[in-house]
C-alpha cells in the first residue's frame, strides 16, 4: 500500500500539487478540523458514495491515525481503484507538523 507522510503532503499542497483528499473520519472528529479541500466521506458511507471518489486521480485517504484509511483503501482496491495513498499517522501526524 502506497503512503505519504504529513510533511510530504503539506509540501505538495504548498506547491499546488493537490491530490484528491478523502477524510473517512466520523462527523464529530471532522468537526475538530480537516485538511483544507478534503472531502468528508465517513468510512461506513464509502460503498454508497463510490461515485464521489475518482478512479483516475491520485487520492489520499485520511483518518485519525491511519487504520481506517487503510481499511478504506483495501475496500476501494477490491472495487478496482489503483491510485490510492494512505496518510501515515493520519490527522494525529498532520496536526503535529
Q: Quick one: how far is CA 50 from the chain centroid? A: 14
| Mean per-residue pLDDT of the chain | 97
Query: What pLDDT is recorded for position 97?
Result: 82
pTM for this entry:
0.96
Beta partners for 86?
Answer: 3, 61
| 28 catalytic per annotation | no
Is pLDDT above 90 for 30? yes
- CA gap 22, 42 in Å, rounded: 9
Q: What is the mean pLDDT of residues 5-31?
A: 97
Query: What pLDDT is recorded for position 58?
Result: 98
Is pLDDT above 90 for 88? yes
Choosing from 43, 53, 63, 87, which is the catalytic residue? Answer: 63
Domains along the chain with CATH numbers: 3-96 (3.40.250.10)
Give the number of other CB atoms < 10 A from CB of residue 7. 12
Query: What pLDDT is recorded for position 17?
Result: 94
State the burial class of residue 68 (Cβ atoms within 10 Å of its Cβ: 0-12, 13-18, 19+): buried
Amino acid at each position: 500500500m502506497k503512503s505519504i507522510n504529513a510533511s510530504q503532503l503539506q509540501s505538495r499542497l504548498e506547491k499546488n500539487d493537490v491530490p484528491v483528499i478523502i477524510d473517512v473520519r466520523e462527523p464529530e472528529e471532522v468537526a475538530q478540523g480537516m485538511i483544507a479541500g478534503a472531502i468528508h466521506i465517513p468510512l461506513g458511507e464509502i460503498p454508497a458514495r463510490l461515485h464521489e471518489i475518482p478512479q483516475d486521480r491520485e487520492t489520499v485517504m485520511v483518518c485519525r491515525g491511519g487504520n481506517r484509511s487503510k481499511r478504506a483503501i483495501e475496500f476501494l482496491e477490491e472495487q478496482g481503484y489503483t491510485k490510492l495513498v494512505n496518510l501515515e499517522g493520519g490527522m494525529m501526524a498532520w496536526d503535529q507538523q
